[in-house]
Amino acid sequence: MSTTDERAASPARRPDDSLARLRREGRIVIVGASLAGLRAAETLREEGFAGSLTIIGDEPDRPYDRPPLSKQVLVGGAAADRTTLPRRRAIRAHWRLRTAATGLDLTARRVRLADGDEVPYDRLLITTGARSRPWPHPAEAELDGVFVLRTRRDAERLGRRLMAGPRRVLVIGAGFTGSEIASACRELGLPVTVAERGPAPLVGALGGVIGQVAAELQREHGVDLRCSVMVTALEGDAAGRLRRAHLSDGTALDVDLAVVALGAVRNTEWLDGSGLGAGPRGVACDAGCRAFDVRGLVTDDVFVAGDVARSPHPLFGYQFLSLDHWGNAVAQAEVAAHNMISPGPDRRPHLWVPAFWSSQFGVNIKSIGVPSMGEEILIAQGSLAEHSFAGVYGCQGRVVAAVTFDQTKWLDFYRQQIETAAPFPPPFRSVDRRPDGLRPVPAEFPDPSLPSHGPTVTLSGYSPTERRIVFTPARA
C-alpha cells in the first residue's frame, strides 16, 4: 500500500487532536509582563496547559501592582519595590525581561525582539498595556524636575523628589492620576497647583456635575486649582533645571517640580505593519478576546487582554471599549487564557461590567458601568454638598453607570441595575437622604460617547460558565 493510501485508510483525525496537542506541548507567548499577563499565565496553568510558556516584558521587573504607585508609594506608605503582585500558583514560565517586542510576523507566528531574537508561538497573547502620555515638547520634557507617573521607576523617582520638599509642585492634568498626585502632595504638606484644560477635575470620566464636587474637594484641601487653562511652556535655567511654567491665561508659576498627567498611550507601535487591527486606541478584538486583523476578520491564534485591548460590550451598545481598569485586566486575561486552549463551544465572552476606584483627599470614589455614556445623572443617595453620595447615570431611558463618593455599599445594587437594563430614572424611592423634587440633570460630559439606538441586552448568572445574554430587539 502506498503512503498516500495508508493516509487515506487511517482514521480521520478528530477535530480536537490539535487542541489536545497544544495543551500538552504547545508554545504560548505572552507579550507584556503585566497584571493581565501574569493572571493569564496563572489561568493557563490552572486549566491544564502543560506546554512552554514565555513572558516578554520591556521593564526589568516582574509584574507589579500599579494603583499603589499614585497612592501609597508617593506618601511613603509603601515602598515601590514591595508592589510585586502575589502569585496564585506557580506558572513555570520563561521570562524575557528588559527586552521589548519590536515586531510580529503573523504568517510565520514569530515575535521579533529588540535584541534581534525571534520567539515562535502557537498562541500569542498581547498584554502590553499603556504608558504615560509624555509632555509634547521633548526638550522641555528632559528638564530636571519634569516627571510622569506610570512605572515603578517613575514612582521611586517622583517619591524621592517629593520627600525632598520642592517649593511648589505643578500637576498638569486633573484626571484620576493627576488628582491622586495632587492629593499625595497635600498629604505631604506640599504646595501644589493643578492646571486642567477642562472646566473641572475628572470631568472627562465623570461629567461636569461630579467634576464640580471634585473641584470643591481639591480647593478645600488647599490645592491651587486652575481650570479651563493650559500649560503652554515649561522653562528651565542654564543648568537644565525646571524653574517656571507658563499658562494660557498669560500667568507664570515658579515651580521646581512638574508632573505630566495627560492620560495614557496604548503600547501598539510594535505591531505596525503586522496586519493586526492595532492603533492608538488599542488592539481591536471580539468578545472572546481574539484579535482582529486589518480586514476586520478575527484571528484564531492571537488574543489580547488588559489596557491595550478594545473589545465590544453588549451592555453598552456593542461599542468597543478600552478600559484602564485593574479588574478589567484580570477578568479579560482569564477569559483570553481560557479561550486560547478551549474548543469553540467552550469559549466564553468577556462580560465584566467596567468598574474602577480612586482614593483622593480622604474620599473613596468608586464607579460601575460607563459613566461617559450617561446623558443625565440623578443623585439617588446622599448629598453632593456633603461629598457623600451615589449618582446614577442614564442613557436612552436605562441605567448605564453609577458613581459613589464614600457610598460604596450601593455599588453591587447598581451593578445589578446595569446588567438588567433597569429604567432611568429609577422608579424606586431612595432609602437614604434625597432632596424633595430632585430630578435628573444633564451629566455635562465635554465629549459624550453615546451609543446609537439599538437592542436591549441584559445579563444573568454569576460564574463564568453561567453568564447568559438576553437579547431584546429595538422597537421600530
Q: Please spell the DSSP secondary structure of 287-322, one letter per residue.
A: TT-EEEBTTSPEEEEEEE-GGGEEEEEGGGTTEEE-
Predicted local confidence at residue 413, as pLDDT: 94
Supply the pLDDT for residue 363. Answer: 97
Report residue 91 as a C-alpha cell.
Answer: 506558572
**pLDDT over 90 at 10, yes or no:** no
Q: What is the rounded distance in angstroms from the CA atom of residue 353 to the CA atom of residue 330?
A: 12
Q: Does the structure show a pLDDT above 80 at 310?
A: yes
**Mean local confidence (pLDDT), 308-314:** 94
**Is the separation of the CB atoms in 283 and 304 below 8 Å?**
yes
Kindly report, residue by residue over 348-397, the tens digit of the pLDDT. 999 999 999 999 999 999 999 999 999 999 999 999 999 999 999 999 99
Helices 326-340 & 35-46 angle (0-180, nearest 10): 40
Query: Any bridge partners for residue 247, and if so which?
Result: 231
Report the pLDDT value the prediction gives residue 342, as an integer from 0 to 100: 96
Beta-bridged to residue 394, according to DSSP, are: 376, 399
Alpha helices in 111-236 (DSSP H): 138-141, 152-163, 176-187, 203-220
Residue 456 neighbours by CB distance under 10 Å:
17
Query: Which among 193, 218, 189, 188 is positioned nearest to 75, based on CA atoms?
Result: 188
User: Which residues have CB under 8 Å from 139's CB, separation 6+?
Assistant: none
pTM for the complete prediction? 0.89
How confident is the model over 226-239, as pLDDT tens digits?
Answer: 999 999 999 999 99
Q: What is the pLDDT of residue 471?
A: 46
Looking at the predicted structure, is the pLDDT value of residue 108 above 70?
yes
Q: Beta-carbon neighbour count of residue 293 at 10 Å?
A: 16
Reply yes or no on whether the pLDDT at 3 is more than 60.
Answer: no
Kind of pairing, strands 224-227 and 192-196? parallel
- pLDDT category at 253 given cuts 50, 70, 90 is very high
Q: Residue for cell digits 505572552?
A: 30
Average pLDDT, the chain: 90
The whole-number average pLDDT for the span 189-205 is 97
In angstroms, the CA 93 to CA 301 distance is 19
- The Cα–Cα gap between 327 and 232 comes to 36
pLDDT in tens, 396-441: 999 999 999 999 999 999 999 999 999 999 887 655 555 544 689 9
